[in-house]
Amino acid sequence: MKIGVLGTGAVGQTIATKLVELGHDVMLGSRTASNEKAAGWAKTAGSKGRAGTFEQTGAASDVVFNCTLGAGALEALHMAKEANLAGKVVVDVSNPLDSSKGMPPTLLVSNTDSLGEQIQRAFPKSKVVKTLNTMWCGIMVNPRMLGDSHVNFVSGNDAGAKTTVKTLLKSFGWRDEELVDLGDITAARGQESWLQLWLRIYGATKNGAFNIKIVAGKPA
Amino acid sequence: MKIGVLGTGAVGQTIATKLVELGHDVMLGSRTASNEKAAGWAKTAGSKGRAGTFEQTGAASDVVFNCTLGAGALEALHMAKEANLAGKVVVDVSNPLDSSKGMPPTLLVSNTDSLGEQIQRAFPKSKVVKTLNTMWCGIMVNPRMLGDSHVNFVSGNDAGAKTTVKTLLKSFGWRDEELVDLGDITAARGQESWLQLWLRIYGATKNGAFNIKIVAGKPA
C-alpha cells in the first residue's frame, strides 16, 4: 500500500519505520522539501521509504497518517491539499496538546469538540479515523511489548475506512479484540480527553510505556 | 468513624450502605429533612444508618463523601455549611456531567479546571480528596467483583487526608497497589475528563461494569 506519514517527530518516524518494515511504500512528509529529519529518516529507511513535502506526501499516498503536533495538524493537512486527500483514509494520531501554559499540557479543543472532528469537518471528502493517540508511540507499533492485553480505540464515520485501519493495526500486532470501535468521529472527544488522565498517570509513575486494559464484569 | 454521605442517588446509597456494613456511623444527607429516598435508605440500614439534611450531615460527620450530581455539588456543600466542613476530609466522588445538551453528556468544567478544584477553592479549610469518580458505583465498594486488578485514582492537596481516604478504600476491598496517587487536586482534571472516554466505552460495550488496569512496560 502507498502510505503517507505527515510529521517527522517521534510518532511519525516510528509509524513510518513500522510501515516500511511491513513492506509498504512510505513517504514521510514535512513542511519543506529540505527537512533534515525527513531526509535522515529516508536514508535509513531503505528503498521503500522516501521523504517529501506535505503536498507530495498527500499526492503519493492512498492512506495518510496525521502524526503532526495537534496545534499544526489542520495547517499540515491543508498543505497536503484537500484534493489530494479526497476519498482517502486519513488516520489521525495527533493530540491537541497546548504546552504554552505550563505542564502538564492542556487541550486546545475538548469536551464539546475534538481535533478529529475538526479535521473531518475541514476535509469532508476524506475518511478520518482516529486511533493510536492514546499511548506512547513505541506501544503503537509494538503492542506486544506489554505483557498483558490492552486496548486501542478506533472512531470514524466511515465503516470501510475503519476496516482498512483495523487491518493495518492488526499488522502492527494488535489483536482483533484489543481494537475497541467507539463509533463515529465524535468519540475522538473521549480519545483526546484521555490525554488529561494519561499525563497525570505519567506524572505520577514517570513511565510513559503504559497503556490500559478494560477489565469488565457482568453487565450491571 | 462518623461519616456523612451527601446525595441519595445510586452512588450515595451504595457508599453509605457499604460504610454501615463496615461498622461506621453513617448519615445520608439530602436537601430536605423529608427526603423519601434518604428515609427509605435509613429504614433498611439498621442502627448505624440515619438520614439528615445536608447541614445535619455536615455537622454530624468527621469525613464527608460528596456523592451529589456534579451540577449541584457546590450548592449541596454550601448547604452542609463551610464551618461544619472546616478541617474535615471531603471525599469528592462527583462528576460535572451536563446531560442538558443530549447524550453522551459533556462536562460542565474541564481541561483547565475541575469540579474537585472548584470545591477545594470554595472550601479552603476542608481537605478535598478526589477518588472513585472514574467507575460505576457497584465497583467502587466491591472492587473484587472484577476478575483482574484495576485502578482507582486519588488526588488531593493534603497527604494526611489522602492517607485517611486510602485506608477507607482498602476497607472497601481496594489493594494498596491499585490506589494510584496522582498528586494534588489539579489532577481531578484528569480524573473527571476520563468520563468522556468512559461514556464512549460504555456506549460501545453497553456494559458499565468495567474499570481499567494500567499495563506498564519498561520505562521508555
Predicted TM-score (pTM) of the model is 0.97
Rounded (10°) CA dihedral B52, B56, B62, B65: 50
Q: Which of A146, A200, A207 sits opposite B182 (nearest CB)?
A: A200
A114 to chain B: nearest residue by CA? B196
Taking an 8 Å cut-off on Cβ atoms, the answer to whether A183 and B194 are in contact is no
A186 to chain B: nearest residue by CA? B200
Taking an 8 Å cut-off on Cβ atoms, the answer to whether B190 and A182 are in contact is no
How many contacts (CB atoms, under 8 Å) link A and B?
A: 161
B196 to chain A: nearest residue by CA? A190
Which residue from A150, A153, A148 is spatially nearest to A179, judged by alpha carbons?
A153
Taking an 8 Å cut-off on Cβ atoms, the answer to whether A147 and B215 are in contact is yes
Q: What is the distance in angstroms between the Cα of B216 and the nearest Cα belonging to chain A?
A: 4
Q: Which of A111, A146, A194 sits opposite B106 (nearest CB)?
A: A111
Taking an 8 Å cut-off on Cβ atoms, the answer to whether A110 and B106 are in contact is no
Measured at the CA of B188, the angle between CA A115 and CA B137, to 5 degrees, comes to 100
Rg, Å, chain A Cα set: 17
Taking an 8 Å cut-off on Cβ atoms, the answer to whether B217 and A146 are in contact is yes
Q: What is the distance in angstroms between the Cα of B140 and the nearest Cα belonging to chain A?
A: 13
Q: Is the dihedral of CA B52, B58, B63, B68 positive or negative?
A: positive
Rounded (10°) CA dihedral A121, A127, A131, A137: -100
Taking an 8 Å cut-off on Cβ atoms, the answer to whether B111 and A203 are in contact is no
The pLDDT tens digits along chain A (220 residues) read: 999 999 999 999 999 999 999 999 999 999 998 999 999 999 999 999 999 999 999 999 999 999 999 999 999 999 999 999 999 999 999 999 999 989 999 999 999 999 999 999 999 999 999 999 999 999 999 999 999 999 999 999 999 999 999 999 999 999 999 999 999 999 999 999 999 999 999 999 999 999 999 999 987 6
Strands (E), B38-118: 49-53, 63-66, 89-92, 97-98, 106-107
Digit-coded pLDDT (tens) for B43-80: 999 999 999 999 999 999 999 999 999 999 999 999 99
Q: What is the distance in angstroms between the Cα of B56 and the nearest Cα belonging to chain A?
A: 33
Q: What is the distance in angstroms between the Cα of B95 and the nearest Cα belonging to chain A?
A: 14
Q: What is the distance in angstroms between the Cα of B220 and the nearest Cα belonging to chain A?
A: 6
The DSSP code for A178 is G
